[in-house]
Amino acid sequence: MNLHQTYSPFLFCFCILFFLVFKISAPLTPFYPLENIAINCGFLGNTTGIDGRHWIGDIGSMYFVSGGSNSKSITSSATVLEQSSPSHATIPYTYARISQTQFTYVFPISPGLKFVRLHFNPSSYRSFHRSKAFFTVKANRYTLLHNFSVSLTADALGITTVSKEFCLNVEVNQPLSITFSPSRTSPSDKVYAFVNAIEVVSMPNGLYSSMKENIEWDQNMNFPSLWGSTALETVYRMNIGGSFISSSEDTGMSREWFEDTRFFLHSGVLPLTTTMQIKYEKIPNFVAPQNVYQTSWFVDPNKNADEIINFTWKIPVDQGF
Q: Is residue 242 part of a domain?
A: no
Neighbours of 143 (CB within 10 A): 13
d(CA 72, CA 105) in angstroms, rounded, equals: 14
Percent with pLDDT over 90 in the chain: 52
Residue 294 lies in a domain: no
Instruction: Render pLDDT for 173-190 as a digit per residue (tens, 0 to 9).
Output: 999 999 999 998 777 788
DSSP H helices in the chain: 150-157, 290-293
Phi, psi of 101 (to 5 degrees): -130, 170
CA neighbor of 181 nearest in space, from 138, 139, 152: 138
Find the domain containing 95 and state its range.
Answer: 36-202
Amino acid at 14: F
Amino acid making up residue 201: V
Predicted confidence at residue 187, as pLDDT, reads 75
- 5 contacts: CB under 8 Å, gap ≥ 6: 147, 148, 149, 152, 153, 156
Q: Where are the beta strands (DSSP E) in 133-247?
A: 135-139, 142-148, 162-170, 176-182, 193-195, 197-202, 232-234, 238-239
Residue ranges of alpha helices (H) inside 57-158 are: 150-157
Decide which of 310 and 166 is more confident: 166
The confidence score (pLDDT) of residue 215 equals 44
pLDDT, one tens digit per residue, over 260-283 is: 998 998 777 888 999 888 888 878
287 domain residue, yes or no: no
pLDDT digits (tens, 9 = 90+) for 197-256: 999 999 988 787 665 544 444 445 555 565 556 788 999 999 999 999 988 899 999 999
Q: Provide the number of structural domains found in the chain.
A: 1
Query: What 8-state DSSP symbol labels residue 171?
Result: P
Alpha helices, DSSP H, located in 274-320:
290-293
Q: Does the structure show a pLDDT above 80 at 118?
A: yes
Any domain includes 252:
no
* Structural domain contains residue 116: yes
Give the pLDDT confidence score for residue 82 in this predicted structure.
64
* b/e map 66-96, b = 16+ CB within 10 Å: ebeeeeebbbbebeebeeeeebbbebbbbbb
Residue 119 pLDDT grade (very low, low, confident, very high; cuts 50, 70, 90): very high
Question: Is the residue at 128 inside a domain?
Answer: yes
Residue 258 pLDDT exceeds 50: yes
Alpha-carbon torsion, ordered 162, 165, 171, 177, to 10 deg = 10
pLDDT at 11 over 70: no
pLDDT tens digit string along 120-148?
999 999 889 999 999 999 999 999 999 99
In a domain, 96, yes or no: yes
Structure confidence at residue 167 as a pLDDT band (50, 70, 90)? very high
Q: How many residues does the chain have?
A: 321
Q: Is residue 69 part of a domain?
A: yes
> Domain containing 144 — which CATH number?
2.60.120
CA distances from 270 to 28, 141, 245, 296 (A): 28, 46, 20, 8
